[in-house]
Amino acid sequence: MNHPIEQFQHWWQQAKADPTLKQRSAVCISTLDAQGFPVGRFVDLKAADQNGFTFCTHLNSQKGADLRRNPKVAMTAWWDSLGYQVRVAGLAAEISRADANRYWQSRNRDAQLTTLACQQSQPLASMQSIKDELTTLGTHYQEQAIPLPDNWGGFIIRPLSIEFLTFAQSRLHLREFYQYEQGVWHKTLLQP
């Protein structure tokens, strides 16, 4: 395959169809903090298409603040049973509120309530106070749709490079590296 987005979709489809994998959409997102240190964490990949790679999060979280300060980002996936690793580097942009709302509506109610009750990445004073807040919110929104909060949304990573690694026991991995230059993807093979 000579188009990296199509290759990613093909690999992700294989991962999604693999019953031995528990986490089929978990990808590590690495941002740069205010001191320039890389910070990685897993998120749930929502979409991968010609526009880029989309995930959702609290916008005021550490990753949200990092990406608003510096859109340079890396995304790494590893599908153990398939022996596939993917590394993406690119620039992140916030998705539209309409798209965020579409993803918000697809979340279960408990996840929505937890988002409302938490300020992700802030120090936790008491888990009990969050549980109390969840109970209050649960009563408040009983039988009502929970609207998209302002501080929740998503980012799309517009890729500048993508590397696909096919793992080999001999360590003679296949590494296919794509770089986006002037609107065209260029492919190079890298030594393992």
| Ligand-binding site membership of 46 (annotated) | yes
23 contacts ligand FMN (rule: CB under 6 A) = yes
**Placement of tokens 């980002």 in the chain:** 73
Q: How far is the CB of 21 from ligand FMN (least distance, A)?
A: 12
- CB burial of residue 164 (10 Å; 0-12, 13-18, 19+): buried
Structure-token pair, residue 160: 């500048």
Nearest CA-CA partner of 12 in 162, 160, 158? 162
**8 A C-beta contact, residue 113 and residue 141:** yes
Answer for which of 9, 21, 26, 185 binds ligand FMN (CB under 6 A) is: 26
Under DSSP, is residue 13 helix (H, G, I), strand (E, B) or coil?
helix
118 contacts ligand FMN (rule: CB under 6 A) = no
61 contacts ligand FMN (rule: CB under 6 A) = yes
24 contacts ligand FMN (rule: CB under 6 A) = no
What's at 92, amino acid-wise?
A
Q: How far is the CB of 41 from ligand FMN (least distance, A)?
A: 4
Say how many residues touch ligand FMN, by CB under 6 A: 16
Residues in contact with ligand FMN by CB under 6 A are: 23, 26, 39, 41-44, 55-58, 61-63, 120-121
